[in-house]
Amino acid sequence: MFGDLLRDLKDRVLAPVAQTIGHNVSPLAISLIAFVAGLDGTLARLQGRSSDLGAYLDLLLDFAVYAARRGSSPCPQPAPGAWSPG
């Protein structure tokens, strides 16, 4: 399914980000954001107005919002050696 392909791509792209912010961001905060972002799809299905195009556009817009959110946050200076293996 097309959604599975996009999910795999999303996981490959976002895994480094998740590993980087994993110690600084609460999973609960991410879950709350995802819950609110998921309401649009639920509303479309309840109204009988869902479509493959809508699901695809929702995914793209979610990426844009998450990127904008992350890009607008101040990034702390990483500790010396934070990017070193080991």
Write the CB contacts of 2 (distance below 8 Å, at least 6 apart in sequence).
Answer: 52, 56
pLDDT at 49 over 80: yes
Domain span holding position 65 = 2-71
Q: Is residue 62 part of a domain?
A: yes
Query: Using CA of residue 13, residue 16, residue 19, residue 20, what is the dihedral sign?
Result: negative
pLDDT at 51: 87
Q: Is residue 57 part of a domain?
A: yes
Q: Is residue 49 part of a domain?
A: yes
Global pTM value = 0.38
CB-CB contact of 17 with 10 (8 Å): no
pLDDT at 71 over 70: no
Q: Is residue 6 part of a domain?
A: yes
- Cβ atoms within 10 Å of 63's Cβ, excluding its own: 14
| Number of separate domains in the chain | 1
